[in-house]
Structure 1
Amino acid sequence: MNDLNSFRISIAVLPFRNLNTDTEHVYFCEGITEEIINALSNVDQLRVISKTSSFSFQNKSTSTKEIAEKLRVDLVVEGSVRISGEQLRIAARLTDPNDESLIWTQTWNRKLENLFDIQDEISLYIADRLREQFGHLTIKEHLAETPTRNLTAYEHFLHGKKLFNKWNPVSSNESIQYFEKALRIDNQLIDAYTGLADAYSFLAIAGFAPYEEAWQKAIDSLEKAKKIDSENASLNYLLANHAFFTEASFAKAFEHIQKALANKPNHSDSRNFISFFHLLEGNIPLAKEHLRYAKSIDPLNQETKFHEAHFLYRTGNLEDSKQLLAELLVENPMNVPAQITLTYALIKMKAYDLAQKHLDEIPKELMMPDERLGLE
């Protein structure tokens, strides 16, 4: 596991503002930001905050200094995107959040069709300027990947991903439609296949779709993804989920999650999952260390917060677990794992009346009948 002490600089890339008057290109703006985050994460000495945490400040009037404090970063990148016809204008700036001083600013004017090349160009520029400003960084010739050359397919994928990240059955079903749209245009878009598998597996595990049918659709998507890139981190994360939840194979799941982290050490979902594995086997120190890593790069992600709450629950810190789960449910009342774990925490605290009250307030469509029956 990468040592957190190996990071020399910490940075957050905030959502680039959409300067277009309509919402037609909003997903491109979000996609540009995410790809720059992913690209900078390929620089070993940089601790880059993951998209979910950075995007938690979207459309909020939070100061750069406050954002940096919450994310615990040294530097902040902000930017804007304007699309006019086939022309793309991207502006970015790097600031020191301590005094909110401007370190540098730059603007790029390019053709929209060259979107993915621009993302690589911007990421390399940011990395080079950081190296000039703060010392040695190991920078590859290219940092950003090209998921697809079809911008329409890419936009459909981004739309689907945004919907799925709401973590509820309605949005998950809607996300499937967009992933399928993307694949009808580009059947080599691996992220859309993993998006489909993620959505179907969530629906299966949470009991919002026929279990075997949903899992089979997830497996079919994973098999297609494997033919494109068997080393892909998101793919192996999902294969680990499949091995654990459907095959009950701890060893196989652990093998896949290690493969995911070998491909992408800063894959926060995999960090959370491997922490969960170590927690199950009773290796509390290692579980805590992986969780600490996940929190360092994705502290505001609901999944990271849930895994922290679950860790607290499993290690007997019930009051802290209850508080964190309650906070999660304020953010997203349809967070199924948080709803269920909070009920169990209240039961373990012998707060039976509160547990029953909480259980009664959980919408029936959010819980499998067997799960509800077991708690009652």
Structure 2
Amino acid sequence: MAESLISELKRRNVFKVGIAYLVLAWVVVQITSIAVPALHLPNWINTAVFFFGLIGFPFALFFAWAFEITPDGIKLESAISSGDSTAALTGRKLDFIIIGLMAIALIYFIYESRFQSPTALVLPTEQAEVIAQVSIKVNANNPLISEPKGTSIAVLPFVNMSSDKEQEYFSDGISEEILNVLAKIPKLQVTSRSSAFAYKDTKINISEVAKILGVKNVLEGSVRKSGVRVRITAQLINAETDKHLWSESYDRELDDIFQVQDEISAEIVDALKETLGISLVKTVSSAQTINPKAYDLYLQGLRGLHTYTFESLDNAAAALELATDIAPEFLMARIKLAETYARQIITGSRFDWLILDKAEALIKEVLSINPNSAEAYFVRSLIIKTDRKLRNQYAKEAYRLNPNNVDIIIRHAQSNGAEMGEDNARALFERAQKVDPLNADLPYFFAVYLVQTLQKYSEAEQTLKQAIKVNPKNTFYPFYLGQIYAQHMGQIVDAIKLAENGARLDPNDPYFPQALSIYYLSLGSGLKSLEYAEKAMSINANNAEIINQKVNSLIYLGQTAKALILINDTIADANTVYPSKQLKERFITGAIYLLLKQQKFADAEALINLHIPGINEWVNQPPPATLNAIENVNGILLLACVYKAQGQLAKVEKLIEGVKGRDESFYLTGQARLLGIEYMNLAISSSLENNDEQTIKYLEAAIDNGYLYNWRANLLQSPYFIDLAQQPRFTALIGRLETEMLKQITVLKQ
């Protein structure tokens, strides 16, 4: 019976009609989804087309069973004799129709699938497992790490469905702006951008992604730009049940993209609040009108800022400068431009540190208009140069205004960790880890806190090793770990191994050969130190920081004439770049040492006045009201050193009067104990006060705290410690260092 029914269904072409109908319906739905927004038709037409197509399916099957198309027209199947039936001919026609429709569907599928990447879900999973091994060791009862009472969500990067692949930054920007709006809602834990965007261009499983990110819900979507129109589709998914809780499509004009995006974000937030049970007033659109070109440049700037390479930061600055020129009222563009300037200085992609003054001016303008901008206070904490208390205050204010932003959480924990206490600081890092579980930088930031605030170097070492595991191609992690070894743990050999590997990974980075020059000079290998210094200069010939290391190598090798010529040529060269104002002053330290050794006091004083114009006026000025108001500190100390060598102690006393407050209590602000480099600075101040015993105590403390970084230049080639050469205790300290270097050389050769 069943076989005869199936045979009859086949004879009457019911199966073929059903297949043809379904394929045709799918093609019509796809065409409609594109045509409706392009023709500015209401969105309900898509729903109507799908509805009528759905209810038409059983009618199509019924007519295929009951009727037949004949040369004489449509007739009832029961009225046609078997000899007059044309079902076989109709079936062959249907075959061609089905093939044609499926070809159309296949072409459309290939066209759409070019936007999808077949990348497997591997890296984020492994990354999460490694980062999870970073133990922050926090008190589980600390209220700062309690789970939010509401719910959690991750906003995955929206898929760029535009025909132009270069519009990727636009879809990314839409995703990020929606994420930023959601992150400001209380009771809603929102996964940070860096973790959510780890799944960009990746074939994913929603439940697995949610498990890794630690969220209950996932928001995903797509963006299609067509001319002056944009179509954005978003859907909210319950990760546990894979159920679609909510979805919507938005068709908007691009004439005012900022207002469009703000409106879409507000509508999505409102829908999420209803779905997730968050009782808040709907976010109100700012209704701010921004030039579309300026906004497009802003999104390009965001892309460069997030890519975070030297080149991308330069591109970001250029794009954001244009954006602010076109639309000066665009406050977020100003904030991001100021942040880009700060990041350029931080990374070393530019050295004109006066750009920070421009960044500060941008932020002041923003805060005069919007005094409650958390982002502005965050950036201001990045660009502050000398005032620790003010920097920490800005970080705290940013956190007060937006305690859910991961970057702000980390900055607050780093800046105010000592004030809030270790347990609370660790709790903040724990919170950041929960919100941003795939952020490979988080172990690095935590390590910086461990070093700068707690001086827990072994824990910082293990944390950085985890960061290197997560992202072995990031050369900054091993560079910083090498600095910890050399500046805090006295492990020069371990620092060398990391720097050598970093130089292999990035042969265009001059700071690895420069670091190797410092490390080998510490070991007493002058020729190798000079070799690496020259290699660094071959990569970046105008960087005064790198040139200074070659000067140190030449002095150690006894090539003092070459060292002085190099110093003078560098000062005279208009193309010389000084990464910081402090370095500009410190650059002539080696020359002052050589001139004082030769008792050329007038030449030494003339060099200081030439290199740091107006420095001599400090002798006749009263000390500043605060230590942070002091400019040219290093220049003042060098000039005082020259006066001391000439016996002009009254001038020395006058010069150092303003810096006497830089005592132990000054450096202990915001940290558990003194760093090695801070003991070194205290030793310099003591030497100018003619307190040799205290000077040597500070030098011993620096070495005891693992500060072997460039110790030969710092101790043996310093103008401040020339008079200590005959002191038995100082000689014993140098002997102790030489013995340690021999041990480390033996280890290096193994």
2:248 is paired with a residue whose SS is strand
Is the Cα contact below 8 Å between 1:14 and 1:54 reproduced in 2? yes
Is the Cα contact below 8 Å between 1:9 and 1:46 reproduced in 2? yes
Does 2:259 align with 1:259?
no
- Equivalent position of 1:160 in the other structure: 301
- Equivalent position of 2:195 in the other structure: 53
- Equivalent position of 1:96 in the other structure: 238
Give the letter for the 2:479 counterpart. Answer: I
Q: Distance in 2 between matches of 1:134 and 1:58?
A: 25
Structure 1 or 2, whichever has the larger Rg, is 2
Is the Cα contact below 8 Å between 1:233 and 1:260 reproduced in 2? yes
Q: Deviations over 1:237-283 (max 9, x none)?
A: 1211233xx12x22211221122122222222121011112445582
Structure 2 counterparts to residues 82-93 of structure 1, below 5 A: 82-93=224-235
Q: Distance in 2 between matches of 1:368 and 1:331?
A: 14
Percent identity of equivalent pairs:
26
Is the Cα contact below 8 Å between 2:221 and 2:233 reproduced in 1? yes
2:220 to 50, 71, 78: 78
1:31 to 145, 150, 173: 173
What is the CA-CA distance between 1:141 and the residue it aligns to?
A: 4.0
Q: Which has the higher contact order (CA 8 A, sep 6+)?
A: 1
Q: Distance in 2 between matches of 1:41 and 1:290?
A: 16
Q: Deviations over 1:44-84 (max 9, x none)?
A: 12111222221121111232122212211000011011111
Q: Distance in 2 between matches of 1:331 and 1:280?
A: 32
1:165 is paired with a residue whose SS is helix
Give the letter for the 1:174 counterpart. Answer: N
Does 2:479 align with 1:340?
yes
What is the CA-CA distance between 1:194 and the residue it aligns to?
A: 2.0
Does 2:499 align with 1:355?
no
What is the CA-CA distance between 1:352 and the residue it aligns to?
A: 4.3
1:29 is paired with a residue whose SS is helix
What is the CA-CA distance between 1:331 and the residue it aligns to?
A: 5.2
What is the CA-CA distance between 1:319 and the residue it aligns to?
A: 5.2
Is the Cα contact below 8 Å between 1:179 and 1:193 reproduced in 2? yes
Q: Distance in 1 between matches of 2:273 and 2:293?
A: 35
Q: Distance in 2 between matches of 1:213 and 1:355?
A: 32
- Equivalent position of 2:422 in the other structure: 284
Residues 256 and 87 of structure 1, relative CA distance in 2, 3 Å threshold = same
Q: Distance in 2 between matches of 1:18 and 1:156?
A: 18
- Equivalent position of 1:201 in the other structure: 342
What is the CA-CA distance between 1:87 and the residue it aligns to?
A: 1.6
Give the letter for the 1:31 counterpart. Answer: G
- Equivalent position of 2:538 in the other structure: none
Question: In terms of mean alpha carbon deviation, does 95-104 or 73-82 score higher?
Answer: 95-104
Give the letter for the 2:493 counterpart. Answer: D
Residues 281 and 43 of structure 1, relative CA distance in 2, 3 Å threshold = closer
Is the Cα contact below 8 Å between 1:82 and 1:89 reproduced in 2? yes
- Equivalent position of 2:436 in the other structure: 298
Is the Cα contact below 8 Å between 2:392 and 2:415 reproduced in 1? yes
Does 2:181 align with 1:42?
no
Question: In terms of mean alpha carbon deviation, does 205-214 or 159-168 score higher?
Answer: 205-214
Give the letter for the 1:123 counterpart. Answer: S
- Alignment RMSD, CA only? 2.9
Give the letter for the 1:232 counterpart. Answer: S
Is the Cα contact below 8 Å between 1:163 and 1:171 reproduced in 2? yes
Residues 323 and 370 of structure 1, relative CA distance in 2, 3 Å threshold = closer
Q: Distance in 1 between matches of 2:444 and 2:247?
A: 37
Residues 305 and 119 of structure 1, relative CA distance in 2, 3 Å threshold = farther
What is the CA-CA distance between 1:351 and the residue it aligns to?
A: 5.9
Q: Distance in 1 between matches of 2:249 and 2:169?
A: 20
Residues 113 and 73 of structure 1, relative CA distance in 2, 3 Å threshold = same
Report the TM-score, using the length of structure 1 for normalisation.
Answer: 0.86
Is the Cα contact below 8 Å between 1:92 and 1:107 reproduced in 2? yes
Q: Distance in 1 between matches of 2:179 and 2:421?
A: 32
Structure whose residues are more often helix by fraction: 2
Question: In terms of mean alpha carbon deviation, does 32-41 or 125-134 score higher?
Answer: 125-134
Residues 307 and 346 of structure 1, relative CA distance in 2, 3 Å threshold = same
Residues 250 and 312 of structure 1, relative CA distance in 2, 3 Å threshold = closer
2:409 is paired with a residue whose SS is helix
Structure 2 counterparts to residues 163-312 of structure 1, below 5 A: 163-243=304-384, 246-247=385-386, 249-280=387-418, 283-311=421-449
Is the Cα contact below 8 Å between 1:188 and 1:228 reproduced in 2? no
Q: Deviations over 1:141-180 (max 9, x none)?
A: 42x5567522211111111121122333222122111111
Q: Deviations over 1:12-43 (max 9, x none)?
A: 11111111121243222112111111122232
Is the Cα contact below 8 Å between 1:179 and 1:195 reproduced in 2? yes
2:318 is paired with a residue whose SS is helix
Q: Distance in 2 between matches of 1:328 and 1:234?
A: 28
1:5 is paired with a residue whose SS is coil
1:205 is paired with a residue whose SS is helix
Structure whose residues are more often strand by fraction: 1
1:255 is paired with a residue whose SS is helix
What is the CA-CA distance between 1:229 and the residue it aligns to?
A: 2.4
Residues 4 and 182 of structure 1, relative CA distance in 2, 3 Å threshold = farther
Does 2:248 align with 1:106?
yes
Is the Cα contact below 8 Å between 1:81 and 1:91 reproduced in 2? yes
The alignment covers a number of residue pairs equal to: 369
1:61 is paired with a residue whose SS is coil
Q: Distance in 2 between matches of 1:97 and 1:310?
A: 35
1:47 is paired with a residue whose SS is strand
Give the letter for the 2:442 counterpart. Answer: T
Residues 322 and 265 of structure 1, relative CA distance in 2, 3 Å threshold = closer
1:317 is paired with a residue whose SS is helix
Is the Cα contact below 8 Å between 1:278 and 1:284 reproduced in 2? no
Q: Distance in 2 between matches of 1:117 and 1:91?
A: 17
Question: In terms of mean alpha carbon deviation, does 223-232 or 5-14 score higher?
Answer: 223-232
Q: Distance in 2 between matches of 1:203 and 1:131?
A: 39
Q: Distance in 2 between matches of 1:84 and 1:369?
A: 50
- Equivalent position of 2:704 in the other structure: none
2:336 is paired with a residue whose SS is helix
Report the TM-score, using the length of structure 2 for normalisation.
Answer: 0.45
Unaligned runs of 5+ in 2: 1-142, 520-708, 711-750
Q: Deviations over 1:167-224 (max 9, x none)?
A: 3322212211111111121112222222222222223234443353232332333333
2:319 is paired with a residue whose SS is helix
